[in-house]
Amino acid sequence: MKKNNVTIIGHSEIYESRVAELTDSFVENELSGCTDDISKQFTQLLYYLHDGLKELKELPGTDDISSLDRLFDNYVRLCCKCCVLPTIEGFSMLTGIHKATFYDWNNRDYRRSDPAYSDSVKRWREICREHLIHSLTNDERTSVNKIFIAKAAYGMREDSIPQIEEASKAEKTLLDIPVFNGELEDKNGV
């Protein structure tokens, strides 16, 4: 993973976002510059970003959905760069906002008067879902864990042809009909 700086003006690095700058700081300070295992250290990176943004007073709160939207977009880019699937749970670690709050916003159980919250969380979930689908369809090996997450978290299911459990009614009926031996009996016994 290369550094996140956009350009160098004079001797100054310019970053696209504070998340990119703090990610480079994490790689240098916590991983000694080695990015080989960054996906394994991703949770630690999220907490590092949370602490850094909080210390810089740039961590948006629950009252600023526009800033949370921008932070989510940076989070998704970071996930892509680190080969990690974005999730609402991961974003929750980054923001320090409990994931249940996001699900409440999604269901309009909280902040009912402002649809921007519900719309944002729905968009975030859809982005996470799309990344999962992309991963499932483009990875050489399909992970059982990803399939489980697709079903449990996003309600996806496998469509299949319904199996007929019993023999067809026609087959059962033919077997149940008595064999005709050529003699007809009259109802009067004649």
> What DSSP designation does 14 have?
E
**Rounded CA gap, 66 and 114, in Å?**
12
pLDDT one-digit tens code per residue, 126-178 = 999 999 999 988 888 778 888 878 887 888 887 755 555 555 555 555 566 66
Domain locations along the chain: 5-157
Strand 5-9 versus strand 12-15 pairing type: antiparallel
pTM of the predicted structure, to 2 decimals: 0.75
Q: Which residues contact 124 (CB under 8 A, 6 or more apart)?
A: 72, 88, 91, 102
